[in-house]
Structure 1
Amino acid sequence: MKSTITGGKVVLVGAGSGDPELITVKGMRWLQKADVILTDRLVSPEIIRSFAPAAAKVIYVGKQCRRGHSTPQATINELMVLYAQDGKTVVRLKGGDVSIFSNILDELQALQQNHISYEIVPGVTAALGAAAFAGMPLTARNYATSVRFLTAYKSDVVSETYWKELAQTDDTLVFYMSSETLRDVVKKLTANQIDASKKLAVIEQATTPQQKVYTSSLYAYDEALGGKNFFSPTLVIIGKVVDLHEQFRWVNEKAETTEYFKSEDVSNNENEQLALTA
């Protein structure tokens, strides 16, 4: 851990995958000590209401993947550094786990380059939360011996050679940030002759009161789910473990769902960011 001449510190905290009770005790305790909280969009607002000190400055720095306002990563890095150099305890609050498909490397490099003290507090990543709340053990005995976390948010992230391997493996496949390219994912796997007995599960807004699980054969995806627009965040699980959902589902889903993670009003944040980065 790097020392700092200012006495400030940045703590990168995983907030869990939606349900506010999934935050760790360690993460909760750091929030209670925070002077400044830089929070993502996919963090339950109940976490801030329950654990943030009344005097803490809360700044929304979420990214929305082509769905509106997004805070540049360079701005997030600069906010962390500037507040820590001012002697503040800064909590960088991220949805899920801090190290799974996040920009933590950029943030760690910025902190290290500026000699800022930091700590990493892990959280329940979306794959684990979604699988648990959908009754799908990711490595259930006789169903899968391992699991792969992937993303296919654009068409060239996964090579053609690797698509062939993914289609043939018995591993459980978990795709993050891939709802907009899901039809392409299905086409790649079926074109490479994935076992027809394997199913696909699409889990909307996992672990929240608005969770919804849709399942389908990969070869019948277009007929079953092809025209569906899913609420963000969406996680996709592919493999034999999807068969366990009907037997072990325990969450009572609502007939109609709404958006759980609302976009925050960031106008005040923008003014502050411009002042800080001027």
Structure 2
Amino acid sequence: MSVSSIPGRRRRLNKTQKLSVAGISAMALAALSFSLVPANADPKPEAAAPASSEPAVFTSVAGTPQAKAVQASIIEQHSTAEQLVKAADLARAKEAAAAKAKAAEAAKIKAEAEAKARAAAKVKAEAVAAKRAETQAASRSEARTPVYANNLDGWIRESLDIMRAHGIPGSYEGLHRNIMRESSGNPNAVNGWDINAQNGTPSCGLLQVIKPTFNAYHVPGTSWNIYDPVANITAAANYAADKYGSMDNVNSAY
């Protein structure tokens, strides 16, 4: 609602509007003065005329061109003043709308920036959490990984774990007993006199396995070196399981 539409309130006029109203008032006063002059009055009397006994007659000037021009000017200036007020109101409304739109755009940009910052922080936090979980999992896995001694006891225990993973039967006692009979626990032992040696394939390692048998019964995950203690034990145990059911059933040369 504009100020002019509120009962009991007066609109403040700017400088242009005040000048317009002053001009209207001046022209209205001039029109009033002009209407009080008799139509037959002589603007420059040369001599005083004798007073007439008849009453003076004044003619109306409302319909004269001058009166009409004054009336038209007043109406035009009033319309111009109204237009100025409306134009000022429209300009203020446009300024307010522009300011509101600018504030909304700034708020939108700020909200988008904050959303991007939150998304980046979330991604970073997830990456940190994933890295931490990976590190913890690796630590737990390392903690669960058994450490075997580099001796006969450790070789047998490591071989047993690998055998269980591959479903190869055998016990600590059966492996240890056959190892001590075949090589006395020496992983580099070589039989250079039996029939296998005579055929060019000597028995080697803790359980005295020939190369063709080692290659045929090699267990994945172990070394391909026939002298490797763990690889030699697991390959021999795999062969014994296939031929005798288990190394536990072997009590002599096999």
Normalised to the residue count of structure 2, the TM-score between the two structures is: 0.17
Larger relative helix fraction: 2
Which one has more relative contact order, counting CA pairs under 8 Å at least 6 apart? 1
Normalised to the residue count of structure 1, the TM-score between the two structures is: 0.16
Larger radius of gyration: 2
